[in-house]
Amino acid sequence: LESRTRLKTLSGLSIADHDCHAAGLTYVYPVISRRAGGISIGINLHPNNACNFRCVYCQVEGLVLGAGPEVDLSILERELDWMLDAASSEETRLAWAGDRAHARLIDVAFSGNGEPTTSPQFAEAVALLGRLLAKRGLLGTLRVVLITNGTMAHKPHVLDAIGALSEANGEVWFKLDRATDGAMHQVNGTHVSVAHHLEGLRRVAARCPRTWVQTCMFQWDGAPPGEADVDAYVAALAGLVADRVPLAGVHVYSLARQSHQPEAPRLSSVSAEWLDAFAARVRGLGLRVDVAL
């Protein structure tokens, strides 16, 4: 009950506060999403801070290598129920957002402190969210987002859950930061090959027609990604376009939040001009591109 009451009194949420603890909860948190332009309810299935990537820009403190822990679905359901109740109040949304422009509920997002699809309860969590949205008449109207690094896209049960999410007005944001094996290893801390990763993207797009590529571009020791990396990235997307993979578009951004990885002091945002020029090349493929610095 204390947490439920605290939810209504949270205020001044910022883009930096992706934190369940601020709300006194285990799995669910509200956050102002500058990309989406309002309040997003985040679902964190990884309170253990474990991910199978180690992106150098990752903002998770105490990030460890691993998969999701067992999720207590009864707690997740209770917290989501509370959060959706709280978010239905305009007064509460205004207190959270701090201004009217952002005091609207944009979506519910599976994101958090690890890769959502490695959670043993990912499919159950998707189904549970669908039930809670249906109870409020929000199923099909409130957007549901899966923010994923795509590494589990070859697992049938994950693809089935993505199909269910898609039917619940869901969209997928699939991480593709670089398109050479070397650069992907350097940026994402993985030995997954680009070819395997792109195959996963094709599978996900086939199950969810609202699949976005999400790409983080940043400077390393003051230098933006090199021409060869940009060329490889554009060529990878060109291959998907040529094969008519149904992508909704590309979300391009730079360092939205402080990295909490050892490389943090070496990283900085690319300039708006660099990002715009990069976006223009991707748009040249006929893809929609949304840019956020």
Least Å distance, CB 112 to ligand SF4, is 8
The answer to whether 119 and 45 have CB atoms below 8 angstroms apart is: yes
Burial of 145 (0-12, 13-18, 19+ CB in 10 A): buried
Q: Output the CA–CA distances (angstroms, integers) from residue 212 to 162, 172, 272, 289, in the order listed.
A: 13, 6, 21, 9
Nearer to ligand SF4, 34 or 54 (CB): 54
Nearer to ligand SF4, 45 or 205 (CB): 45
Least Å distance, CB 60 to ligand SF4, is 5
Least Å distance, CB 5 to ligand SF4, is 30
Which residue ranges make up the site for ligand SF4 (CB under 6 A)? 51, 53-55, 58, 60, 63, 114-115, 149
Nearer to ligand SF4, 149 or 169 (CB): 149
Nearer to ligand SF4, 51 or 144 (CB): 51
Least Å distance, CB 89 to ligand SF4, is 31
Q: For residue 164, give the H/E element and its range.
A: helix 156-167
The answer to whether 247 and 283 have CB atoms below 8 angstroms apart is: no
For the sheet with 211-216, list strands across it: 28-33, 38-43, 105-110, 143-148, 170-175, 211-216, 247-253, 289-292
Nearer to ligand SF4, 105 or 213 (CB): 213
Q: For residue 252, give the H/E element and its range.
A: strand 247-253
* Torsion angle of the four alpha carbons 179, 184, 187, 192, in this order, in degrees rounded to the nearest 10: 140
Least Å distance, CB 30 to ligand SF4, is 19
